[in-house]
Amino acid sequence: MIRVVERQANGYREYPPEAEILLALISIAQQAGFTLEQIRQLLPVGPGAWDHGALLDALKQKVNEIDSIRKRLDHTRAQLVTAIESIEDRPDGIECVDNKKRVLDRLREAGITPDLRKLDGSTTG
C-alpha cells in the first residue's frame, strides 16, 4: 500500500508527506473493521484516483454491518439483564429446576428468547 523508497546514505528511508496521510487512513479503516485487503482495494492507485462510488458503497456497507452487530449486541444484553434480574429475584424456597423454568418463561415473556415448544411443533408446556 505504501511504496518502498530507497534508503538514504545514512540508512534511513525518507517517505513523501502523503505516506503519513495514507498510514492514518489505513489505521482509521482498520479501527472501523476493514481488513487490509479491503483497504487495499479502496485506496487510490495514484494521486487523486479515488473511486468515490466504491468508497461510499464500502463505507455504507460497513455502517450496515455495525448496525447489525449493534442490534445483536442489544438483544444479547437484554437477554442477560433479564436473566440476571430473574435469578436475583428468585423466590425463597423455589427449587433450582423450577427456577430455571421461571427464568426461561420470563425471557420468553419479554420476547427475547425463542419459545422452544413452538420450534419442535409441541403445543404443550
- For residue range 9-23, what is the model confidence (pLDDT) as tens digits? 898 888 888 888 888
Q: Are residues 43 and 13 in the same domain?
A: yes
Q: Are residues 58 and 42 in the same domain?
A: no
Q: Closest Cα partner for 2 from 23, 17, 33, 25? A: 23
Same-domain status, 69 and 121: yes
Same domain, 38 and 72: no
Which domain, by its residues, includes 89? 52-125
| Number of structural domains found in the chain | 2
Task: Give pLDDT tens digits for 57-113.
Answer: 999 999 999 999 999 999 889 888 988 988 888 888 888 888 888 888 888 888 776
User: What value does the mean pLDDT of the chain take?
Assistant: 84
Same domain assignment for residues 41 and 56? no
Asked whether residue 115 falls in the same domain as residue 80, the answer is yes
Residues 11 and 64 in one domain: no
Report the predicted TM-score, pTM, of the whole model to 2 decimal places. 0.64
d(CA 34, CA 55): 12
